[in-house]
Amino acid sequence: MSEINRNENDNREQKTREIEQLEAQVEDLQRELNEEKNRHLRTRADFENYRKRMEREAETKRLNAKKEILTDLLTFIDYFEQARKQVHDPAAARGIELMSRQFHEFLRKQGVRPIECRGEPFDPEEHEGIGYMATDQCPEGCVAEEVSCGYKLGDTLLKPARVMVAKKTGRPGDSSEEGERND
């Protein structure tokens, strides 16, 4: 009987070793599975970050192209103003005025807005100072006259306003530099 017990003990030990080996394999497979899950999650996160970056870059390119086109179109606003001042025929003046209004409406729909600057402090970020003007109409250092309107698209400057900056008026009898320009 002792041989039977010995065989049974050997069988139990062998089965115990097999179970331990299988448990070790299960642990190894579980670890590999967890590593693959983590690798998969990192890959998905990397791809999501890549997709978002590509969307941001595409939006930036779209906005830059839009800004470039709108900036080029803004030169026509000045042409309309110059034409309006030169035309003496009332019918032609009305036609130019109509085209100018339609053009302004188009720009408004695109998100372009004029910079309001008359009477505001001179801001070199938004204004291009072309000279000084002696006046009592607004404080010194403020915009006294807008020569050419400036425009923004959202918070981005497309075209600075060309302005005359107010300075103190001279005393009576002094020679005034009113209208002096630094072109």
Domain boundaries, the chain: 115-183
The sign of the CA dihedral 112, 116, 117, 122 is negative
What string of pLDDT tens digits covers the 183 residues of the chain? 567 777 777 778 888 888 999 999 999 999 999 999 999 999 999 999 999 999 999 999 999 999 999 999 998 888 888 888 898 999 998 999 999 999 999 999 999 999 999 999 999 999 999 999 998 888 999 999 999 899 999 899 999 999 999 998 765 544 444 444 444
The CATH number of 115-183, from 1.10.510.10, 1.10.10.10, 1.10.3720.10, 2.30.22.10, is: 2.30.22.10
Q: CA-CA-CA-CA torsion for 70, 148, 151, 137, nearest 10 degrees?
A: -170
Could you give the CA distance from residue 13 to residue 19 in angstroms, rounded to a whole number? 10
The sign of the CA dihedral 30, 34, 40, 43 is negative
The verdict on pTM exceeding 0.85 is: no
